[in-house]
Structure 1
Amino acid sequence: MALIFHSSANPVAAGHVLGESLVGEPWNGATPAWPLQPLRAPLLGAGSTPWHEAWLVDSPPLAGESEGIRWRRQGDQLFGVIEIDEGPDVGLQAASEAAYARLFRLLDAQGLPHLWRLWNYMADINQDQQGLERYRQFNLGRAQAFEGASRCVVGRVPAACALGVRSGPLSVAFLAGSTPAVPVENPRQVSAFLYPGEYGPRSPTFSRAALVYPPGQELLFISGTASIVGHQSVHLGDVAAQTRESLDNIEAVLAEAQRLSPRGAFALADLSYRVYIRHAADLGAVRAEMAGRVASAETLYLQADVCRSELLVEIEAQGLRVVQAA
């Protein structure tokens, strides 16, 4: 039941696809037979061809749809996507709570209770709406759904990212399974779920990273990581310094993951990356910093808004390796 990560400019061939992210614009609106999350953010420095990132499995998965979630399952692993449009009667807080509540009901029905990784995208993430920034509205709805499903909001929470795109619905993709993820925190940072009240009425519900153990494999999911030390944004206005600080944070997470993993360390060069850049003009500076540290790693650059308006770049990463039987 091995998971295989496919990353290519070429479309995924029909077959044993658990789920896919289509990264970049344009997207023609066509949907394949499997769950697809269209990431409505421009690719930077890579032309106009969208990029396909998919999770493949080694035997035919089961497929279904539940409360607007398109999902596929193979064995004890499940990938799903839900998108909820906002409107006059459904704001971002309500959409967030609804998406996560439906997600938890699906996991309970499938007997796969453990969230491993989530990818959240929403329009106008830094915009104030009805007196509260939209990212904070998202966090409020997400936390309410976790609590409504009797799930922890501190400690054992999944890896995740939350980015702003130009337009479109709230879009949530997720990987889940039967085995719990091992949360990984960063000793250089306050855990996001323990942020003080100045960052909103509810703290973000995610871990800095998660180690996951499907049969015969070890996966490391590193959440969206930015230029934050403690709980404060640093290097304001300096995108190069923010990129370096973000990579320093990822290195700290890797060191903590090594302490928790029985299999040894992942290195920076072992990972694949998505780098979200607020201003397209900053691509050269960010790419230069990345090249100095992870020149050989697969890296996608996208234009997207980070969850704090003063942050100019955010980096997420993941690694996968085979685990030999003892």
Structure 2
Amino acid sequence: MTPRANALLTDAGELFFSYARPADDALSSLSRQEGLLGIITFQTGFFGEGDGAKPEGILQIPLSGRGDDRCEIWKTTQPVHAGTFGDITYRCSRDFLFGSIALAVADLPAGNHGLIHLPLQNAAELAYQQIFSLLDRHGYPGLLRIWNFVPDINGVSHGLEHYRQFNIGRQDAFLAHSRLPSRQNIPAASALGSVDGPLVVYFLAARRNSVAVENPRQISAYHYPQEYGPSSPTFSRAGWVDLGQQKILFISGTASIIGHQTRHEGDVAAQTRESMANIAAVVAETNRVAAGPPYDLNDLSYKVYLRRFTDLPIIRAELDRLVTPKAPVFYLQADICRADLLVEIEATAGVLHGGMA
């Protein structure tokens, strides 16, 4: 069965985003399709352990929980070639680059001054340094969207939560590559928890820059107060990019946060509604500042991360009330960056709705 795709149109070609069932479309067959940029699977067991059979262009995220038995596929109508750069595996066309990196997280020896190198800080800094160096070398300045999967994201080592360690390293890399002085091009991002294993980052870049969009209901993440860690999270609430015929909106992982504070602790239904209110605010802000036809909640494709899989019926019921049943929605169980958050929702707008396979 061929997955129905959401097409992101450009002057030079098309960029396709879709979900497919691995059981219906063998990943090895999908990996041989022309124009493939990447396939992301979120569950283990698609390939035999240690048999070396993983096809090129496929990234597996080591999530411990459950979710829709689907994989995420990115394709383009342009010719694609594969490459490696340091620890990064990537595939690129004339206008797009899609890459991934998985780095082991390990303690490093103390430095010359006896300072402890925080393991996730180092892994995050190295990952982002390599990403920026790759994009600079090959001329893809527009880092449009990033997905981060942090092992045991709410765990603590060396006296600091893993997500906060990650934020230090990520911000250090942004600073080292002069990508923070202009807030206008900070990309949209999500950061979720994976099981013990590597730090995994996958990303989409282009020849054109996106424009950051913030949420009037929230403090920009990079302005969070010190209570959230030594370094603020480095991402925009959304990124809008003009790719020619189509204008695309990438909305970051969005949760039940007003200002900088979590709301509705312990109430997953209320957190879902608040998350969607924040997405609605981002959509409204984009419609205010960006050129082109206005976006609508019913025009988005959604990916929903839930901390407890038993909350799925509640979250699904809330979304069924708020958006059309035709909107593609992909559910995954994963830990979220704050221990008091039960749900996080990301979205993409400006796509042709082909639905889900």
Q: Matches of 2:45 and 2:231 in 1, distance apart?
A: 35
1:153 shift after superposition: 6.1
Q: Deviations over 1:197-245 (max 9, x none)?
A: 1101010000001111224222111000000000000001101000000
Calculate the aligned-residue CA RMSD, in Å: 1.7
Cross-structure match for 1:32: 55
Cross-structure match for 1:59: 78
Cross-structure match for 2:242: 213
Match of 1:123 among 130, 133, 151: 151
Q: Deviations over 1:47-71 (max 9, x none)?
A: xx4x121111113212210001111
- Give the secondary-structure state (helix, strand or coil) at the position aligned to 2:278: helix
Cross-structure match for 1:3: 15
Cross-structure match for 1:232: 261
1:88 shift after superposition: 3.1
1:264 shift after superposition: 2.0
Cross-structure match for 1:223: 252
- Whether contact under 8 Å (2:31, 2:39) holds in the other structure is no
Cross-structure match for 1:304: 334
Where in structure 2 are the equivalents of 1:84-233 lying within 5 Å? 84-89=103-108, 91-152=119-180, 155-156=183-184, 157-233=186-262
- Give the secondary-structure state (helix, strand or coil) at the position aligned to 1:120: strand
Unaligned segments of structure 2, at least 5 residues: 1-12, 109-117, 353-357
TM-score when normalising by structure 1? 0.93
Q: Matches of 2:345 and 2:181 in 1, distance apart?
A: 23
Q: Does 1:266 align with 2:317?
A: no
- Whether contact under 8 Å (1:44, 1:283) holds in the other structure is no
Deviates more, 1:36-45 or 1:135-144: 36-45
TM-score when normalising by structure 2? 0.85
- Whether contact under 8 Å (1:117, 1:174) holds in the other structure is yes
Where in structure 2 are the equivalents of 1:39-58 lying within 5 Å? 39-41=61-63, 44=66, 46=68, 49=69, 51-58=70-77
Q: Matches of 2:267 and 2:347 in 1, distance apart?
A: 22
Distance 1:59 1:180, change over 3 A: closer
Instruction: State percent identity of aligned pairs.
Output: 47
Q: Matches of 1:321 and 1:274 in 2, distance apart?
A: 14
Paired letter, 1:32: P
Cross-structure match for 1:23: 42
Aligned pairs, how many? 318
- Whether contact under 8 Å (1:112, 1:176) holds in the other structure is yes
- Whether contact under 8 Å (1:2, 1:217) holds in the other structure is no
Query: Which of the pair has more CA radius of gyration?
Result: 2
Cross-structure match for 1:71: 90
Q: Matches of 1:278 and 1:16 in 2, distance apart?
A: 34
